[in-house]
């Protein structure tokens, strides 16, 4: 009986380690995007970019390909965890309509980060596609594909509404501090708990704002049946930069993205992860 127990526990522990590695890798990507955007806001040598631009930045550092390989593998670990959440419901969340929607969002998130992980690994292994295309252009190609389908404008509009809804849900998480329920707070000191909560609320608020702007772009692309209007993080940051006091506004949001990355690192260390059902 003990042997059977060990056999069943080992894969679960392996998934947990992959998940933690994945949260850490995802956090690194957000921190790099935030640092580059903050530098760009005040003309300190950075540039506005998204995840794929962050990958290229990593690749250009000393030992960059090795570091990017670790990030790519880490993101694959995050993908595994998202699919486990989608198909096995390890946290025993409700099984109603909201539960189905949550698990569907985990599956979609897994697909998105799988494509990012593959992109990162293509850069590492010198794929000819590593220097072509940006996050914006790839999303626009996807929107163009959706628009060519029956009811394509409705499909793109639905995606935009879903992204906006996710943004507002992120605001809610920041306001309610529900994210604390998934952390092993007992393992933190009081000061660590206080600062991790503050940083998470700031980061989630910035992440939510970027998501709302991206969703708005997708809705506009649906209304105009124009895929070029669909933008991702890079386009959202550029939009903020073009507003009154844009440098300060984008700089603040960039700091928020760095904070969100730190929040992901905290999750990598302290999140409750239960791979087995």
Tell me which residues of the chain have a pLDDT lower than 50: 1, 3-10, 128-135
- Residue position matching structure tokens 């993205």: 257
Q: In sequence order, what DSSP letters do the residues of 147-164 get, joined into one string?
A: HTSTTHHHHHHHHHHHHH
| CA distance readout (Å), 109 to 11, 23, 59, 216 | 22, 13, 24, 19
Backbone angles phi, psi at 95, to 5 degrees: -105, 10
How many Cα atoms occupy the beta-carbon half-sphere of 109 within 13 Å? 24
Backbone angles phi, psi at 172, to 5 degrees: -60, -40
Quick: pLDDT tens for 138-177.
778 888 888 888 888 899 999 999 999 999 999 999 999 9
Number of H-type helices and E-type strands within the chain: 9, 0
Which residues neighbour 40 within 8 Å (Cβ) at sequence distance 6 or greater?
46, 47, 48, 241, 250
CA angle 268, 41, 56 (to 5 degrees): 55
> What sign for the dihedral angle of Cα 95, 96, 100, 102?
negative
Which residues neighbour 237 within 8 Å (Cβ) at sequence distance 6 or greater?
37, 48, 210, 250, 253, 254
pLDDT, residue 18, reads 87
pLDDT, residue 7, reads 41
- Which residues are registered as beta bridge partners of 183? 271
What does the longest C-alpha to C-alpha distance in the chain come to? 67
How many Cα atoms occupy the beta-carbon half-sphere of 249 within 13 Å? 13
How many Cα atoms occupy the beta-carbon half-sphere of 244 within 13 Å? 0
Report how far residue 247's alpha carbon sits from residue 20's, in angstroms, rounded to the nearest whole number. Answer: 34
pLDDT, residue 68, reads 93
Q: Are 163 and 218 in contact (CB under 8 A)?
A: yes
Counting every residue written for the chain, the total comes to 277
Report how far residue 40's alpha carbon sits from residue 53's, in angstroms, rounded to the nearest whole number. Answer: 13
pLDDT, residue 6, reads 42
Three-state SS at 1? coil
pLDDT, residue 105, reads 85
Q: Which two three-digit tokens encode residue 272?
A: 């409750």
Q: Are 136 and 232 in contact (CB under 8 A)?
A: yes
- Residue position matching structure tokens 């593998």: 73
pLDDT, residue 151, reads 86
pLDDT, residue 209, reads 95
């Amino acid at each position: 009986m003990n042997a059977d127990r060990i056999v069943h526990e080992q894969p679960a522990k392996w998934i947990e380690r992959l998940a933690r590695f994945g949260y850490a890798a995802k956090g690194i990507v957000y921190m790099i995007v935030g640092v580059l955007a903050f530098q760009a806001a005040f003309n300190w040598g950075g540039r506005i970019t998204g995840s794929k631009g962050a990958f290229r930045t990593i690749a250009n550092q000393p030992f960059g390909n090795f570091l990017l390989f670790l990030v790519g593998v880490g993101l694959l670990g995050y993908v595994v965890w998202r699919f486990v959440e989608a198909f096995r419901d390890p946290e025993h969340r409700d099984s109603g309509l909201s539960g189905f929607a949550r698990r569907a969002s985990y599956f979609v998130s897994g697909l998105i980060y799988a494509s990012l992980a593959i992109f990162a690994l293509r850069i590492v292994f010198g794929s000819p596609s590593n220097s072509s295309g940006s996050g914006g252009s790839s999303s626009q190609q996807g929107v163009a594909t959706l628009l060519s389908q029956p009811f394509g404008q409705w499909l793109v509009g639905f995606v935009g509404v879903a992204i906006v809804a996710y943004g507002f849900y992120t605001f809610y998480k920041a306001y309610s501090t529900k994210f604390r329920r998934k952390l092993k707070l007992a393992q933190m000191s009081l000061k660590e708990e206080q600062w991790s909560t503050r940083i998470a609320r700031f980061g989630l608020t910035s992440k939510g704002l970027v998501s709302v702007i991206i969703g708005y772009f997708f809705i506009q692309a649906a209304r105009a049946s124009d895929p070029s209007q669909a933008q991702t993080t890079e386009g959202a940051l550029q939009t903020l930069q073009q507003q009154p006091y844009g440098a300060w506004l984008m700089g603040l949001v960039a700091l928020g993205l760095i904070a969100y990355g730190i929040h992901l690192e905290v999750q990598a260390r302290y999140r409750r992860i239960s791979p087995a059902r």
